[in-house]
Amino acid sequence: MRSAFYISDGTAITSEVFGNALLSLFPTKFEHHTISFIETTEKALLTKARINKASSRGGKPALVFHTFVNNEVREIIESCDAILYNFLEPFVAPLEKELSIKAKPKTHRTHSMHEKSYDYRIDAVNYALTNDDGSNVTNYEEADVILVGVSRSGKTPSALYLALQYGIKAANYPFTDDDMEELTIPNFLKPFHKKLFGLTIDAQRLIDIRDGRMANSKYSSARQCRMEVREVEKLYKNEKIPFINTTKLSVEEITAKILAETGLQRYKY
Amino acid sequence: MRSAFYISDGTAITSEVFGNALLSLFPTKFEHHTISFIETTEKALLTKARINKASSRGGKPALVFHTFVNNEVREIIESCDAILYNFLEPFVAPLEKELSIKAKPKTHRTHSMHEKSYDYRIDAVNYALTNDDGSNVTNYEEADVILVGVSRSGKTPSALYLALQYGIKAANYPFTDDDMEELTIPNFLKPFHKKLFGLTIDAQRLIDIRDGRMANSKYSSARQCRMEVREVEKLYKNEKIPFINTTKLSVEEITAKILAETGLQRYKY
């Protein structure tokens, strides 16, 4: 199989995210490799050897997507037996011209710690953990958003992703079987109606997920799952709670949709 | 302030990550906006109006970084009064040539759900939560890595990031005051020595962080923080546990370094 390398003298997150986005346009399989912090000529030479080996093993030259700030290291990489894609090159000169200012490449600026956003994010992670799964219902003043939904509809990963990526404080509250008889917004959530955001999921997918965790239980039964989904969707509609169906969505898509629908501001860029 | 827009007919994560990486090369401040899921001409026209408004308000045309798969929508955006950077354009044609295959752009492929990686990630998040902060010391067979360190050295956010981004199962175990008298690897961790990865932090930073959470306590005292840091670093060295100092690192950098040092494989690309 042909190899694709995502490499950088920093975290290589940009190369990885963007390189992977490009390759996802092609219906072809690749062997993916990320190599980060290639900061010395020694590491560059080791990386070059690894890339060259992959090229000769794969029969076709490896694809190498890179973002280097250090020129000396980049030149070594550019001498690899591979097809190279320099992600910065097509954009830096036009941006310099447009901004009338020279780029000041500095390794580790992109994904390094910005004093403010760092604290936001750690605080937000702590908030999401403390207010996960209805474990604490007294902190909702602080929430930027409160995700609601049945068990296993995607609330916890989404809340954590909002916290880690964007510094957004997301609590989450589960509607359980006990709530279902006559499902309403619990009293402690009522003052925060505007912060509520609903998740729902296709009943069949919910059955499959719950079955993986607790087979042959009431919790995972078709009847129960269908009833819960029906009830929460009715609640969302009656109470005008915005909601999305997470069945076919990744965590990235769920959170991007939550941000798009709520207009919540990211604390971090 | 000049505006920068990161937009797409998908999640806009690629535009956001890469656009932000490019702008971080310039010592200039921007007003950042991400607009995702611009999938209809109606939304495109609304976005165009918003961009044009930002351009005239900012005095200078906004910078627009985009990755559109839908041509009709892209054409509307390209008629904005703004400086446009099409991220896909410089790379798609060369890749098509190199791969001898046409790109099959499909909205939402990049950050959408890949059946396998999705489950890996949700499982990994559940694992990280269940095995957070030493709350469970019986599950370490399953761990890909076990982060150790003093309280507030960055274990929890790092474990969650590894899970959410890469589907890696990271447990974390804190060394507390009770362990310090004669710090050794606890018995239940000994069989998993090879999975241990240490985090440390500068004592002064630790004092500041703990002081923000529990001022004037033994926990946040200079003496206690210095002692804990000294003891864990001694342990890492004696026991040959690889470790990094997280003081100046973002969560992205910490996890990239953990991956680089351990050679752990990502489950998701």
User: Do A2 and A62 form a contact (C-beta atoms < 8 A)?
Assistant: yes
When pLDDT is cut at 50, 70 and 90, the band that residue A113 belongs to is low
Q: What is the mean pLDDT of residues A27-54?
A: 96
3-state secondary structure of A8: strand
Find residues 174-233 of chain A whose CB sits inside 8 Å of chain B.
Answer: none
Closest to A257 (Cβ–Cβ): which among B37, B106, B109?
Answer: B37
Angstrom CA distances, B146 to A205, B195, B199, B269, stand at: 32, 6, 11, 22
Closest approach of B182 to chain A, Cα-based (Å): 30
DSSP state of B266: P
User: What distance in Å separates the CA atoms of residue B61 and residue B51, rounded to the nearest whole number?
Assistant: 9
Cβ of residue A63 closer than 8 Å to a chain B Cβ: yes
How much is the pLDDT for B8? Answer: 96
* A156 is known to lie in a ligand binding site: yes
How much is the pLDDT for A116? Answer: 62
Pairwise CB contact (< 8 Å): A14 & B21:
yes
Task: Please give the structure tokens belonging to residue B213.
Answer: 């959470």
User: Do B88 and B78 form a contact (C-beta atoms < 8 A)?
Assistant: no
User: What distance in Å separates the CA atoms of residue B265 and residue B269, rounded to the nearest whole number?
Assistant: 10
Set of chain A residues whose Cβ sits within 8 Å of the Cβ of B34: 259, 266
How much is the pLDDT for A266? Answer: 83
User: What distance in Å separates the CA atoms of residue B152 and residue A178, rounded to the nearest whole number?
Assistant: 37
Task: Please give the structure tokens belonging to residue B146.
Answer: 């076990």
Q: What is the mean pLDDT of residues A10-39?
A: 94
* Residues whose CB is less than 8 angstroms from the CB of residue B193 and which lie 6 or more positions away in sequence, other chains included: B185, B239, B241
Set of chain B residues whose Cβ sits within 8 Å of the Cβ of A252: 11, 13, 111
How much is the pLDDT for B89? Answer: 94
Cβ of residue A29 closer than 8 Å to a chain B Cβ: no
Q: What is the predicted ipTM?
A: 0.90
When pLDDT is cut at 50, 70 and 90, the band that residue A105 belongs to is confident
pLDDT digits (tens, 9 = 90+) for A135-170: 999 999 999 999 999 999 999 999 999 999 999 999
pLDDT digits (tens, 9 = 90+) for A85-97: 999 999 999 999 9
3-state secondary structure of B50: helix
pLDDT digits (tens, 9 = 90+) for B44-102: 999 999 999 999 998 899 999 999 999 999 999 999 999 999 999 999 999 999 999 99
User: What distance in Å separates the CA atoms of residue A129 and residue A123, rounded to the nearest whole number?
Assistant: 10
Q: Is the Cα torsion angle B266, A8, A123, B155 positive or negative in sign? A: positive
Set of chain A residues whose Cβ sits within 8 Å of the Cβ of B11: 252-253, 256
Cβ of residue B88 closer than 8 Å to a chain A Cβ: yes
How much is the pLDDT for B215? Answer: 93
How much is the pLDDT for B108? Answer: 59
pLDDT digits (tens, 9 = 90+) for A209-227: 999 889 999 999 999 999 9
Say if residue A109's pLDDT is above 90: no
Using 70 as the pLDDT threshold, list the residues of chain B that sit under it: 107-118, 268-269
| Domain boundaries along the sequence of chain A | 3-99, 115-262
Q: Which helix (H) or strand (E) holds A147?
A: strand A145-150
The correct answer on CATH 3.40.50.300 for the domain covering B115-262 is yes
Pairwise CB contact (< 8 Å): A98 & B63:
yes
Task: Please give the structure tokens belonging to residue B244.
Answer: 């990094």
Please state, as a whole number, how many other Cβ atoms lie within 10 Å of the Cβ of residue A56.
Answer: 12
Pairwise CB contact (< 8 Å): A112 & B250:
yes
How much is the pLDDT for A118? Answer: 67
User: What distance in Å separates the CA atoms of residue A195 and residue A193, rounded to the nearest whole number?
Assistant: 5
* Residues whose CB is less than 8 angstroms from the CB of residue A113 and which lie 6 or more positions away in sequence, other chains included: B248, B249, B250, B253
Task: Please give the structure tokens belonging to residue B32.
Answer: 């950042």
Pairwise CB contact (< 8 Å): B101 & A11:
no
Closest approach of A219 to chain B, Cα-based (Å): 18
Top residue of B99, B206, B264 to mutate, by most chain A CBs within 10 Å, is B99
Set of chain B residues whose Cβ sits within 8 Å of the Cβ of A247: none
Task: Please give the structure tokens belonging to residue B196.
Answer: 């241990």
Say if residue A6's pLDDT is above 70: yes
Set of chain B residues whose Cβ sits within 8 Å of the Cβ of A110: 20-21, 24
Report chain A's mean pLDDT, rounded to a whole number: 93
Can you give the pTM of this predicted structure? Answer: 0.91
Chain B residue with minimal CA distance to A104? B25
Cα B243 vs. chain centroid, distance in angstroms? 19
User: What distance in Å separates the CA atoms of residue A116 and residue A113, rounded to the nearest whole number?
Assistant: 8
Cβ of residue A34 closer than 8 Å to a chain B Cβ: yes
Find residues 147-176 of chain B whose CB sits inside 8 Å of chain A.
Answer: 156-157, 160-161, 164
Pairwise CB contact (< 8 Å): B113 & A260:
no
How much is the pLDDT for B112? Answer: 65
